[in-house]
């Protein structure tokens, strides 16, 4: 975290050199930003009591320079600074929240609540809730697959209009404000983080279903019942996002994360033993398909996790699944990463949503993904972590549905999708059929 955030903060300062970063949605500097924000901190109310509500005296005191120690990436610094100067300085700092858990035991393996606990007591894992952006999309695809869709189904990347409550119309755009008008499988659409296709499947199954399955997987925050929920428009925490993604790898079982497993008294006697509460919330076939879908972020052309190839994290044919997320105006950068035995959530951003990059440097793939990558890189080199690199498991349950994936110049052949099912390949189609499919049914597929 420190390695990446130190460089990212330097980049942020360069990005805003000579300008204030607090901006409205149109990019215009927010007037009186510092004056408005300082009135929300306890110090302001304390000074009002000291000066009998004389605001002029309060403002003079807030601008009086005094000795203080501040955080910096070059080390703590002693300086002369006013309270207003201090607020301005800290408002420009980027922060982070990270949690990693063992999805099978529910045990927390890594937890970073912020960039420095001595200066920042606010926990960006459990206390902070921010828009999840595209990292929320998998719950839309989860709901679709649980309904009747498959990773092989195809949609066209095109403009969409969705009507909802009160006659409102939602017209989502892709991150580059363009539409390719090309056909994509659901797997590729998720890998490339295609907003228009995510919106189409949400419109098809209903955004209520997306919310339902997000809650099933492990989200606990209030979610707004609007179609844009599929693109992560509601606020959630790193804690619940990591918990929810773990459900995919844990064969559809949701586990409550725990950080204490045993307690001993001063005599060495064990007086407490804790295990994560686990509940089966989605079927095993759907859970495995979601892992397969998320592997597409690296395996599909144009997948948003391609930056991971630049790190030394692929020994022994290691596979990594994941999803990037970036919210409007680059206010929040997310990365959700999964190895075969670890699930990690990372958020990076400023404490104030109006403080952010204005360009791709604030994207999830550039601001948050490197924290995950550097952590995994170090973890694989440390035997004490007991992490074992390698490919994701083959299907852990008998596949009951039939999946037909046409091979076109635009799609990949899913030739390893189901190890326990019959796989047939022709010059035109790849077909996956369940074990109990009859020869007659197979012939009908080819006919």
Domain with residue 143: its CATH number is 3.40.710.10
Does any domain span residue 148?
Answer: yes
**How far is the C-alpha of 43 from the C-alpha of 86, rounded, in Å?**
12
Q: Do 269 and 412 share a domain, yes or no?
A: no
Domain assignment present for residue 10? The answer is no
Angle, CA of 237, 241 and 247, to the nearest 5°: 150
Q: Is residue 376 part of a domain?
A: yes
Q: Which residues contact 178 (CB under 8 A, 6 or more apart)?
A: none
Helices (H), 361-436: 364-367, 369-381
Helices (H), 67-112: 83-91
Query: CB–CB of 429/414 below 8 Å?
Result: no
Domain boundary among 333, 354, 385: 385
Residue 402: its pLDDT value, please? 73
Six token digits for residue 103: 């999805």
Residue 30 lies in a domain: yes
Q: Which helix (H) or strand (E) holds 57?
A: helix 55-62
Domain range for 77 is 22-91
Chain position carrying tokens 């008998």 = 398
Residues 41 and 112 in one domain: no
Domain boundary, last residue among 69, 91, 113: 91
Structural domain contains residue 213? yes
In this structure, is residue 125 part of a structural domain?
yes
Tell me which DSSP letter residue 287 carries: H
- In 3D space, the residue among 294, 281, 310 whose CA is nearest the CA of residue 392 turns out to be 294
pTM of the prediction?
0.89
- Examine the domain organization and report whether 44 and 159 are in the same domain: no
User: Is 34 in contact with 87 (CB distance < 8 Å)?
Assistant: yes
In a shared domain, residues 233 and 124: yes
Same domain as 417, residue 333: no
| Rounded distance between C-alpha atoms, residue 90 and residue 129, angstroms | 19
Q: Which of 101, 109, 98 lies closest to 278 in space, CA to CA? A: 101
How many residues appear in the chain?
447
Residues 79 and 100 in one domain: no
Residue 127 shares a structural domain with residue 140: yes
Whole-angstrom distance, CA of residue 323 vs CA of residue 330 = 16
Q: Are residues 227 and 296 in the same domain?
A: yes
Strand 77-81, strand 162-164: pairing: unpaired
What is the DSSP track for 110-140? EEE-SS-TTT--S-TTTT--EE-GGGGHHHH
Give the pLDDT of the chain (447 residues) as one tens digit per residue: 999 999 999 999 999 999 999 999 999 999 999 999 999 999 999 999 999 999 999 999 999 999 999 999 999 999 999 999 999 999 999 999 999 999 999 999 999 999 999 999 999 999 999 999 999 999 999 999 999 999 989 999 999 999 998 889 999 999 999 999 999 999 999 999 999 999 999 999 999 999 999 999 999 999 999 999 999 999 999 999 999 999 999 999 999 999 999 999 999 999 999 999 999 999 999 999 999 999 999 999 999 999 999 999 999 999 999 999 999 999 999 999 999 999 999 999 999 999 999 988 999 999 999 999 999 999 999 999 999 999 998 888 887 877 766 554 444 444 334 433 444 444 434 455 555 556 666 666 666
Q: What is the largest CA-CA distance in the chain?
A: 89
Same domain, 171 and 103: yes
State the angle between helix axes of 55-62 and 83-91 in degrees (0 to 180), rounded to the nearest 10.
60
**365 in any annotated domain:** yes
DSSP E strands in 198-355: the ranges are 235-236, 253-255, 262-264, 270-273, 278-280, 321-326, 333-339, 342-350
Q: What tokens does 84 get?
A: 């207003």
Burial bucket for residue 14 (CB in 10 Å: 0-12, 13-18, 19+): exposed
Domain shared by 182 and 326, yes or no: yes
On whether residue 372 sits in a domain, the answer given is: yes
Token digits of residue 66: 């005094």
| The last residue of a domain, from among 66, 91, 116 | 91
248, 328: one domain: yes
> Which token pair is 58?
């309060």
How many domains does the chain fold into? 3
322-361: b or e for each residue (b if 16 or more CB lie within 10 Å)?
Answer: bbbbbbebbbbbbbbbbbbbbbbbbbbbbbbebbbbeeeb
Listed residue (282, 275, 286) closest to 254, CA to CA = 282
Same domain, 263 and 370: yes
């Amino acid at each position: 975290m420190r390695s990446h955030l130190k460089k990212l903060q330097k980049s942020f300062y360069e990005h805003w050199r000579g300008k204030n970063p607090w901006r409205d949605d149109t990019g215009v500097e927010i007037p009186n930003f510092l004056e408005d924000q300082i009135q929300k901190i306890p110090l302001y109310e304390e000074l009002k009591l000291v000066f009998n509500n004389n605001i002029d005296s309060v403002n003079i005191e807030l601008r009086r320079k005094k000795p203080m120690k501040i955080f910096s990436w070059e080390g703590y610094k002693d300086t002369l600074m006013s309270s207003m100067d201090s607020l301005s300085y800290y408002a420009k700092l980027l922060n982070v929240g990270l949690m990693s858990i063992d999805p099978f035991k529910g045990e927390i393996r890594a937890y970073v609540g912020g960039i420095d606990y001595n200066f920042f007591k606010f926990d960006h894992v459990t206390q902070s809730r921010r828009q999840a952006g595209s990292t929320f999309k998998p719950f839309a695809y989860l709901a679709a697959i649980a309904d009747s869709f498959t990773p092989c189904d195809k949609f066209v990347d095109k403009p969409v209009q969705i009507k909802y409550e009160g006659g409102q119309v939602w017209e989502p755009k892709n991150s580059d404000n363009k539409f390719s008008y090309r056909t994509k499988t659901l797997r590729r659409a998720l890998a490339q983080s295609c907003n228009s296709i995510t919106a189409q499947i949400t419109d098809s199954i209903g955004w209520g279903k997306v919310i339902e399955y997000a809650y099933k997987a492990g989200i606990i925050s209030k979610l707004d019942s609007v179609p844009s929920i599929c693109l992560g428009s509601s606020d959630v925490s790193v804690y619940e996002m990591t918990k929810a993604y773990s459900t995919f790898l844990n064969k559809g079982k949701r586990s409550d994360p725990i950080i204490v497993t045993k307690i001993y008294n001063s005599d060495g006697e064990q007086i407490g033993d804790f295990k994560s509460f686990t509940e089966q919330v989605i079927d095993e076939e759907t859970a495995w398909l979601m892992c397969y879908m998320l592997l597409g972020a690296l395996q599909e052309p144009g997948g948003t996790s391609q930056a991971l190839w630049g790190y030394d994290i692929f020994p022994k044919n290691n596979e990594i699944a994941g999803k990037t997320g970036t919210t409007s105006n680059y206010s929040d950068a997310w990365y959700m990463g999964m190895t075969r035995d670890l699930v990690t959530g990372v958020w990076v951003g400023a404490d104030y949503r109006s403080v952010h990059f204005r360009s791709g440097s604030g994207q999830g793939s550039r601001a948050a993904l490197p924290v995950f990558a550097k952590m995994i890189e170090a973890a694989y080199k440390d035997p004490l972590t007991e992490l074992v690199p390698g490919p994701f498991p083959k299907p852990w349950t008998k596949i009951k549905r039939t999946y037909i994936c046409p091979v076109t110049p635009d799609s990949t052949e899913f030739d390893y999708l189901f190890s326990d099912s019959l796989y047939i390949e022709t010059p035109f189609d790849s077909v996956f059929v369940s074990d109990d499919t009859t020869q007659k049914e197979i012939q009908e597929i080819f006919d």
